[in-house]
C-alpha cells in the first residue's frame, strides 16, 4: 500500500472517528491510547498507525517520517486556507452594515419606522386633489369616501414604499354590478392604480377587479371578502427610474398581498393607469398616495407606509 493511500485512510479515519488517528505507543496499546493523550506523547514520542476500520496497524519506520512530513504539509496548507477564509470573512463582515433595528407592532399596526397616514382622528395627512382640505368623512377609527367631493391624496410625496391599508366596501353596494359596486382605488405616486372593488360574487373584467393593476395586470387569485367586511392590502412598490433624457430606465414594479394572499408579484407597471393625476410632473421620482372617489362609500382605516430604497 502506498503512503498516499495510507494518508487517505488516516484522513478518512479522522472523519469517521472525529479524533486524529495518531496512535501512540506499542501496537497493543493503540486502541486505548488513542482515546487520550498520555504525558509522554506530549513530548513528541509518537508513532503513526494506519486505521483499517477495526484495528490500528503500525507503519514501517521508513513510512513514519514521510507520512508525518506529508501530514504536516497538509495541515500547514489547511491552516493557510482557513486563515485566508477567516480574513475574507472578517473583511466582508466589516463591509456589510448592520440592518437597522425596527420594532414590529402587534397585529397590523405600524412598525416603529413607519409613516402613519391615518390611524383614526382627522385627515390632516391628506388633502383634496383639487386643493383644500380632504372632504371625506372621518368616523372614529376610519374615514369614508364622500361621493362627489373628488379624489384625495397625501400632502407628502413618496417613491419606493411598503404600504399597509385597510378598506371596506359598503353593504349598500350589494346588488350593484360590475364596476358600479364598491369601486375606489389606491394610486401609487398618484398614477398607478391598485383597484379597489367589490369583487365578492361580483364579476367584472379580470384586470378591473379588486387587486388588479388597473387594465394592466389581473390579480393571480380573487381573495375578496364580502361588502361590510374589512380587507387589507399590503403593497410593495418600486418607483420607475428615468434617465436624464426622461426615458424610462427601469419600469415601476408592484407586489400586492390581498388579505394576506399574494395576488401580484413584482409586476411591471406599463405607465399611468386611467384617471391618474395629470397635474403631477411626468418623470417625478416621488408622488402622493391618492385615493379614488368613484361615487361608492368605501371606508379606509389603519394606513401606514415605510419609505424604502429598492
- Write out the residues near Mg ion by the rule CB under 5 A: 183, 185, 195
Q: 168 pairs with which residues across the strands?
A: 299
Asked if 223 and 263 count as a contact pair (C-beta separation under 8 A), the reply is yes
CB of 231 to Mg ion, least distance (A): 14
E-strand ranges in 151-287 read 152-154, 161-168, 184-188, 192-196, 231-238, 241-242, 248-250, 253-258, 261-268
Q: Which is nearer to Mg ion, 40 or 205 (CB)?
A: 205
> Could you tell me the three cell numbers for 144?
369614508
CB of 199 to Mg ion, least distance (A): 11
Q: How far apart are CA 235 and CA 284, in angstroms?
A: 20
CB-closest chain residue to Mg ion:
185
CB of 85 to Mg ion, least distance (A): 56
> Which H helix or E strand runs over 307?
strand 299-307
Q: Which is nearer to Mg ion, 51 or 126 (CB)?
A: 126
Asked if 230 and 168 count as a contact pair (C-beta separation under 8 A), the reply is yes
CB of 308 to Mg ion, least distance (A): 25
Q: Which is nearer to Mg ion, 34 or 198 (CB)?
A: 198
> Could you tell me the three cell numbers for 80?
493557510
Q: Which is nearer to Mg ion, 51 or 192 (CB)?
A: 192
Q: Which is nearer to Mg ion, 59 or 213 (CB)?
A: 213
CB of 274 to Mg ion, least distance (A): 9
Amino acid at each position: 500500500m502506498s503512503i498516499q493511500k495510507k494518508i487517505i485512510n488516516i484522513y478518512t479515519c479522522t472523519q469517521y472517528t472525529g479524533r486524529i488517528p495518531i496512535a501512540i505507543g506499542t501496537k497493543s496499546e493503540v486502541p486505548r491510547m488513542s482515546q487520550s493523550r498520555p504525558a509522554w506523547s506530549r513530548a513528541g514520542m509518537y508513532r503513526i498507525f494506519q486505521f483499517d476500520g477495526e484495528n490500528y496497524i503500525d507503519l514501517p519506520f521508513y513510512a513514519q517520517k514521510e507520512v508525518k512530513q506529508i501530514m504536516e504539509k497538509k495541515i500547514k496548507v489547511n491552516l493557510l486556507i482557513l486563515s485566508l477564509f477567516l480574513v475574507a470573512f472578517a473583511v466582508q463582515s466589516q463591509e456589510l452594515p448592520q440592518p437597522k433595528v425596527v420594532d414590529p407592532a402587534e397585529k397590523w399596526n405600524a412598525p416603529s419606522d413607519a409613516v402613519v397616514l391615518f390611524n383614526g382622528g382627522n385627515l390632516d395627512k391628506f388633502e383634496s386633489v383639487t386643493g383644500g382640505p380632504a372632504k371625506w368623512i372621518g368616523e372614529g377609527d376610519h374615514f369614508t369616501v364622500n361621493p362627489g367631493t373628488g379624489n384625495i391624496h397625501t400632502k407628502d410625496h413618496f417613491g419606493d414604499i411598503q404600504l399597509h391599508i385597510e378598506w371596506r366596501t359598503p353593504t349598500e353596494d350589494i346588488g350593484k354590478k360590475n364596476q358600479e359596486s364598491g369601486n375606489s382605488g389606491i394610486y401609487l405616486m398618484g398614477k398607478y392604480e391598485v383597484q379597489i372593488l367589490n369583487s365578492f360574487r361580483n364579476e367584472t373584467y379580470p384586470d378591473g377587479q379588486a387587486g388588479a393593476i388597473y387594465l394592466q395586470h389581473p390579480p393571480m387569485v380573487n381573495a375578496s371578502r364580502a361588502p361590510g367586511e374589512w380587507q387589507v392590502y399590503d403593497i410593495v412598490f418600486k418607483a420607475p427610474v428615468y434617465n436624464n433624457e426622461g426615458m424610462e430606465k427601469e419600469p415601476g414594479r408592484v407586489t400586492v398581498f390581498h388579505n394576506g394572499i399574494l395576488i401580484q408579484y413584482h409586476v411591471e407597471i406599463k405607465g399611468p393607469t386611467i384617471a391618474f393625476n395629470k397635474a403631477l410632473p411626468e418623470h417625478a421620482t416621488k408622488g402622493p398616495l391618492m385615493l379614488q372617489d368613484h361615487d361608492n362609500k368605501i371606508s379606509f382605516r389603519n394606513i401606514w407606509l415605510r419609505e424604502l430604497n429598492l
